[in-house]
Amino acid sequence: MKPALIVHGGARDIPDEAVEACTSGCQRALAAGWSILSKGGQALDAIEAAIVVLEDDPVFDAGYGSHLNLDGRVECDAIVMDGRTLGAGAVSALQRVKNPIRVARAILENCPHMMLVGEGAERFAIQHGIPLCDPEGLISQAERAAWLKCRKDKHAAAHHRGHEQGTVGAVALDKDGNLFAATSTGGTCCKLPGRVGDSPLIGCGCYADSEAGGVSCTGYGEAIMKIVMAKTAVDLLRQSAICADSPAGASCEASTAKVAAREAVHLLSKRAHGTGGLILLDRHGNPGFAFSTPRMAYGYVALDGNFVTGV
Ligand code: ASP
């Protein structure tokens, strides 16, 4: 099977001056994941490598540089899902972990549960060799300044140089047909402490099923949850796959990925009055993406092996 990889750095109103940083962040995430997949490596390793790059980059709202909650603290959520088993590892409200995706992976591989939150998740991290960090070490200067402005003034997107929402995500397919999807976020700015958005929730911010495809979402979490957007997009892929498999269905598969992405985002605005976006790979590795925000940072590996990035 031909490997495939797609990433995103959040659907939002990315200002012109941040476009370069967002596209180069997506390029570096693709490079990290593709260096594994193109040598025959595993999708799970590739997806973790890609997400770690995005989490470490302060232009994105995940890991270091996440938005601060109302108390001025970083609280991160992440999930990774295995399309073959439908198992997932998810974490929420982490305050002392540099790369939440690593804890999500440890849960997927070593835990009888699918989701751990707060202190319990951090204890699990230590037990599985993932050290805790100083919570202050996750706060970027830009986010501290934005938070201070929000405290003084009314919360406004302008305080965040336009990166009001900037979750990261990736979907990867390896040569053995293993399909994984992952999402990681600092959530929304000035959220109430303890708030959990769509991102770490199976079916909402992320879903993967090898029989249909894998999805990672971004955007207004309280709306995305209402339409269970990631699972909705996978269901759209499944319907199309059935149609393509049937003798009468002939060749609807070529545009399936794009149509499913567009339909899910359309439903988000029509039914839940929310804005956002998503990336996906169908079960063959065809990429699709869509967004209803002014911009979304994305990147994927084209059929010729070139990296395509955009906002
Ligand atoms: N969906 C994320 C949340 O609501 C935010 C985002 O995607 O930017 O936490």
Q: What percent of the chain has pLDDT over 90?
A: 86
Q: Can you tell me the mean pLDDT for 130-159?
A: 84
Q: How many helices and strands, by DSSP H and E, does the chain display?
A: 8, 12
Separation of CA 7 and ligand 1 centre (Å): 15
Candidates 236, 235, 203, 196; CA nearest to 217 is 203
Dihedral angle, C-alpha 93, 99, 101, 103, nearest 10 °: -70
Q: Can you tell me the mean pLDDT for 206-226?
A: 98
For the chain, what is the mean pLDDT? 93
Nearest CA to ligand 1 atom 4: 221
Q: Read off the pLDDT of residues 16-75 as tens digits, 9 standing for 90 and up.
A: 999 999 999 999 999 999 999 999 999 999 999 999 999 999 999 999 999 999 999 999
**Which residue in this structure is represented by tokens 């995430």?**
29
- DSSP assignment of 12-26 equals E---HHHHHHHHHHH
Q: Where along the chain do its domains lie?
A: 4-310
Candidates 304, 60, 82, 45; CA nearest to 186 is 60
Inter-residue contact 172 to 46 (CB < 8 Å): yes
Q: Read off the pLDDT of residues 80-123 as tens digits, 9 standing for 90 and up.
A: 999 999 999 999 999 999 999 999 999 999 999 999 999 999 99
Q: What's the Cα-to-Cα distance from 211 to each of 43, 111, 178, 256, rounded to whole Å?
A: 16, 24, 11, 14
Q: Can you tell me the mean pLDDT for 175-188?
A: 97
Q: Can you tell me the mean pLDDT for 164-170?
A: 84
Predicted pLDDT of residue 248:
44
Other C-beta atoms lying within 10 Å of the C-beta of residue 132: 14
The ligand 1 site (C-beta within 6 Å) comprises 10, 61, 165-167, 185, 187-188, 197-199, 205, 218-219, 221, 224
Backbone angles phi, psi at 280, to 5 degrees: -155, 160
Tell the CATH topology of 4-310.
Glutamine Phosphoribosylpyrophosphate, subunit 1, domain 1 (3.60.20)
